[in-house]
Amino acid sequence: MSIEVLLVDEDVDVLEIVGTFLGQEDGFEITTEADPEAALDLATDGDFDAVVSDYKMPRLDGMELCRALRDNDVDIPFLLFTAREHDDVADAAAEHGVTAVVQKGTGTEQYSVLADRIRDTI
């Protein structure tokens, strides 16, 4: 059984990199979307097991995307993948219904951490 993940980030280069690393994980199927408003429609209408989103995006940031999904009764794990320090966003993320916050970093270890967190939340 595969884990269907919707990956959302306005930076298409980041989408490609993160999507590639997550796609190499056993059982992961990755769908990418650069437009957070389109991602809202995909997640509302789709059959995803989790959403992984950047925090700072135009028009609709990651926390607003999560809140919109929750308002549409989409109750799947939502992970915020952000460069911001965990302590800077953790309280606000919890208030918006975010399941977990994973910090972006340098190197490739961050992708294994993200994959583990996705598995842990499903």
pLDDT tens for 90-122 read: 888 888 899 999 999 888 899 999 999 999 999
Question: pTM of the entire structure?
Answer: 0.94
Rounded to 5°, angle at Cα 17 from 76 and 117: 35
> Judging by beta carbons within 10 Å of its beta carbon (0-12, 13-18, 19+), is residue 24 exposed, middle or buried?
exposed
**pLDDT reported for residue 30:** 97
pLDDT tens for 39-98 read: 999 999 989 999 999 999 988 999 999 999 999 999 999 999 988 877 778 888 888 899
- Phi/psi for 83 (5° steps) reads -80, -15
Domains in the chain (CATH in brackets) are: 3-121 (3.40.50.2300)
